């Protein structure tokens, strides 16, 4: 591809993307293809000769669109949001265009220094402890996903808290409402016991049950190494009691990791910060700007209060990676902060999103989504066919049909079948419920009202 061809193709792609985003609201939100339907549109073998770019573009409509589930639709209320936004898309383009590798400071200093600075901005924007800034003992790093971050935290906890113990004797504690990535992280880290701690009536981890589990494991000769709290569980956005859990963690010599994958974004608004008190007692914290902060997937942030044990676990130095800047001790080499060596320039999209919208723009998005979620919850709460299933601390509304599981499932199926909105059905302790996550960047009051009209007509 010559640069002239590249220029023309790039304009065509941007035009196509702008038209897509203009029309996405009108498209059926969920893809309706049957398994295998997309494969059937594709040749079995790669082309021998190159094809014109116009043919590649045409297949966006012929092949890609039918198999697309429209996460960027303002009618997207399923799972949690995975927002992108125009400045983030453009930054992705620049990042790919530059094609940098940021494994060492010296392999592209801007990748490292911009990342540290933007994550320091976030410490202030989210009211996190100052010690987590890059100039302090801790620091932040961008990873692919919250699952990766939690895995890194657990591996670090295992090394930092186990003494000479064997991994199979180690125990990690997590609420039974925590995301499955914690159990997966334990499995990958080789931790022998991942204990699911029962929750109270608000679906927050019971500290008494945590204490009892730790005590029981100590009596059995096991080694409690970490506890993972959640701020905003995946099921219902419940919040674990961080202060009490931190106290238990300290008393028992355990690492305390906080998973705020979804709800972390809300912390840019001061009024949500009571949900995560006492963070200065926490060892690590993760959240996903790629969920609710208008930064395209993938972009996760992991902060550690003390970077030394993380680096101790993740550093390995073959001769071909030695260099003067690293040895001077004056720079950060982010390759030592996670499993992958190579790393892309993900900080650019975070930088552009924060600069384009400003802290005020991000705050008003969060507050508006929260307001819209409360508006919907209020309507659900006043309807005698429906029942709220959980409080609405952030942007997620959970409810059931009063006629029971069958009716709840039917309502969820019928809502999704309209193509006018996407919601998720879930279940806790045998009770089925519908999750409506208000958080897509373009979602306005009229979309939430239209969803309510659908719920009203189908309930
Ligand atoms: N933790 C929580 C609370 C989540 O809700 C999710 C995903 O929804 C995750 C972790 C996993 O996130 P990721 O896909 O970034 O690994």
Local confidence band at 448 (pLDDT 50, 70, 90 cut-offs): very high
Decide: pTM greater than 0.85.
yes
Q: Tell me: pLDDT of 214 over 80.
A: yes
pLDDT-based confidence at 321, cuts 50/70/90? confident
Tell me, in angstroms, the distance from the centre of ligand 1 to residue 115's CA: 22
Please write the tens of the pLDDT for every residue from 105-150: 999 999 999 999 999 999 999 999 999 999 999 999 999 999 999 9
Percent of the chain's residues with pLDDT above 90: 95
Q: Report the residue among 82, 186, 234, 239 best suited for mutation to probe ligand 1: largest number of ligand atoms under 8 A from its CB.
A: 234
Q: Is the pLDDT of residue 268 over 90?
A: yes
Per-residue model confidence (pLDDT) at position 162: 79
Q: In the 3-class helix/strand/coil scheme, how is the chain assigned residue by residue?
A: CCHHHHHHHHHHHHHHHHHHHHHHHHCCCCCCCCCCCCHHHCCCCCCCCCCCHHHHHHHHHHHHHHHCCCCCCCCECCCCCCCCCHHHHHHHHHHHHHCCCCCCHHHCHHHHHHHHHHHHHHHHHCCCCHHHCCCCCCEEEEECCHHHHHHHHHHHHHHHHCCCCCHHHEEEEEECCCCHHHHHHHHHHCCCEEEEECECCCCCECHHHHHHHHHHHHHCCCEEEEEEEEECCCCCCCECCHHHHHHHHHHHCCEEEEECCCHHHHHHCHHHHHHCCCHHHCCEEEECHHHHCCCCCCCEEEEECCHHHHHHHHCCCCHHHCCHHHHHCCCCCHHHHCCCCCCCCCHHHHHHHHHHHHHHHHHHHHHHHHHHHHHHHHHHHHCCCEEECCCCCCCEEEEEECCCHHHHHHHHHHHHHCCCCECEEEEECCEEEEEEECCCCCCCHHHHHHHHHHHHHHC
> What does the pLDDT look like over 13-57, one tens digit per residue?
999 999 999 999 999 999 999 999 999 999 999 999 999 999 999
- The string of pLDDT tens digits covering residues 233-260 is 999 999 999 999 999 999 999 999 999 9
Statement to judge: residues 55 and 114 lie in one domain = no
Region 325-340: what's the mean pLDDT? 92
Q: Please give the tally of structural domains in the chain.
A: 3
Q: Are residues 130 and 164 in the same domain?
A: yes
Q: Residue 192 C-alpha to ligand 1 middle, in angstroms?
A: 22
Tens of pLDDT, residues 371-387? 999 999 999 999 999 99
Q: Is residue 232 part of a domain?
A: yes
Q: What CATH number does residue 165 fall under?
A: 3.40.640.10
At 163, the pLDDT band (50, 70, 90 cuts) reads confident
Which domain CATH number covers 426?
Answer: 3.90.1150.10
Q: Evaluate whether residue 352 is within a structural domain.
A: no
Please work out whether the CB of residue 288 comes within 6 Å of at least one atom of ligand 1.
Answer: yes
Ligand 1 close to Cβ of residue 77 (< 6 A): no
189 and 335 belong to one structural domain? yes
80 lines ligand 1 (CB under 6 A): yes
- Mean predicted confidence (pLDDT) in 346-356: 98
* Domain interval for residue 33: 3-69
Q: Are residues 401 and 288 in the same domain?
A: no
- How far is ligand 1, taken at its centre, from the CA of residue 404, in Å? 28
Residues 56 and 154 in one domain: no
């Amino acid at each position: 591809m010559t640069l002239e061809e590249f220029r023309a193709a790039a304009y065509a792609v941007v035009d196509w993307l702008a038209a897509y985003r203009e029309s996405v609201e009108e498209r059926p939100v969920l893809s309706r293809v049957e398994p295998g339907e997309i494969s059937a549109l594709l040749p079995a073998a790669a082309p021998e000769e190159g094809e014109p770019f116009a043919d590649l573009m045409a297949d966006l409509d012929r092949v890609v669109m039918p198999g697309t589930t429209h996460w960027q639709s303002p009618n997207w209320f399923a799972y949690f949001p995975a927002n992108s936004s125009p400045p983030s898309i453009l930054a992705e383009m620049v990042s790919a265009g530059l094609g940098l590798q940021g494994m060492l400071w010296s392999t592209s200093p801007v990748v490292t220094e911009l990342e540290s600075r933007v994550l320091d901005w976030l410490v202030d924007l989210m009211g996190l402890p100052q010690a987590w800034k890059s100039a302090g003992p801790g620091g932040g790093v961008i990873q692919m996903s919250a699952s990766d971050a939690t895995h890194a935290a657990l591996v670090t906890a295992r090394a930092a808290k186990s003494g000479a113990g064997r991994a199979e004797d180690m125990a990690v504690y997590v609420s039974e409402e925590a995301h499955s990535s914690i159990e997966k992280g334990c499995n990958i880290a080789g931790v022998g016991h991942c204990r699911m701690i029962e929750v109270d009536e608000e679906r927050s981890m019971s500290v008494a049950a945590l204490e009892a589990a730790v005590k029981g494991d100590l009596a059995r000769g096991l080694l409690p190494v970490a506890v993972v709290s959640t701020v905003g569980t995946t099921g219902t956005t419940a919040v674990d009691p961080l202060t009490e859990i931190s106290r238990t963690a300290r008393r028992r010599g355990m690492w305390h990791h906080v998973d705020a994958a979804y709800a972390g974004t809300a912390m840019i608004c001061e009024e949500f910060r009571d949900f995560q008190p006492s963070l200065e007692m926490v060892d690590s914290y993760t959240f996903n700007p790629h969920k609710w902060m208008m930064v395209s997937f993938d972009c996760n942030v992991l902060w550690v209060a003390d970077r030394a044990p993380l680096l101790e676990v993740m550093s390995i130095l073959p001769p071909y990676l030695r260099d003067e800047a690293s040895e001077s001790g004056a720079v950060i080499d982010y390759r030592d902060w996670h499993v992958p060596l190579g790393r892309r320039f993900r900080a650019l999209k975070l930088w552009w999103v924060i600069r384009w919208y400003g802290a005020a723009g991000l705050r008003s998005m969060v507050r508006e989504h929260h307001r819209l979620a409360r508006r919907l919850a209020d309507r659900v709460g006043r309807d005698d066919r429906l029942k709220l299933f959980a409080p609405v601390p952030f942007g997620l509304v959970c409810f059931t049909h009063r006629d029971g599981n069958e009716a709840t499932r039917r309502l969820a199926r019928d809502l999704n079948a309209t193509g006018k909105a996407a919601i998720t059905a879930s279940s806790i302790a045998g009770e089925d419920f519908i999750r409506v996550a208000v958080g897509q960047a373009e979602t306005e009051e009229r979309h939430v009202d239209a969803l309510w009209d659908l719920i009203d007509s189908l309930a």
